Amino acid sequence: GEADASCNGRCQRKVRRFVDSREFEVFMCILIITNTIYFGVEAEYAAQAQSTEVPEAFKDISLAYTLAFLVELVLRMYGYGWRFFCA
């Protein structure tokens, strides 16, 4: 009921403050930069190995980055609600 809506609103505001925090923004920037470096490393490996076969470690690292960016997206969508799509 009303208590749930109030709690949900408080939770949304907390998540919004979290994703808008400088620390979160810096962390996400670091993830973007390291992901870009990782793309370069993976491309260099593929060029040197002359193979389309990707080692499991590369797959695992790619999955970790994908999950991290997915968590960011979900947090931002929850924190901003429908405004996330309109801004």
- CA distances (Å), origin 31, targets 17, 34, 48: 20, 5, 25
- φ/ψ of 27, rounded to 5, equals -60, -45
Residue 82: what pLDDT?
79
Rounded to whole angstroms, how far apart are CA atoms 27 and 34? 11
Give the Cβ contact number of residue 42 at 10 Å.
15
CA 24, CA 10: separation in Å to the nearest integer? 19
For 7-45, write each residue's pLDDT tens digit. 788 999 999 999 999 999 999 999 999 999 999 999 999
Dihedral sign for Cα atoms in the order 32, 36, 67, 73: positive
Put simply, whether the predicted model's pTM sits higher than 0.85 gets the answer no
Q: Which of 11-15, 47-51, 63-67 has the lowest average pLDDT?
A: 47-51
Report pLDDT for 54.
85
Please count the other Cβ atoms lying within 10 Å of the Cβ belonging to residue 9.
11
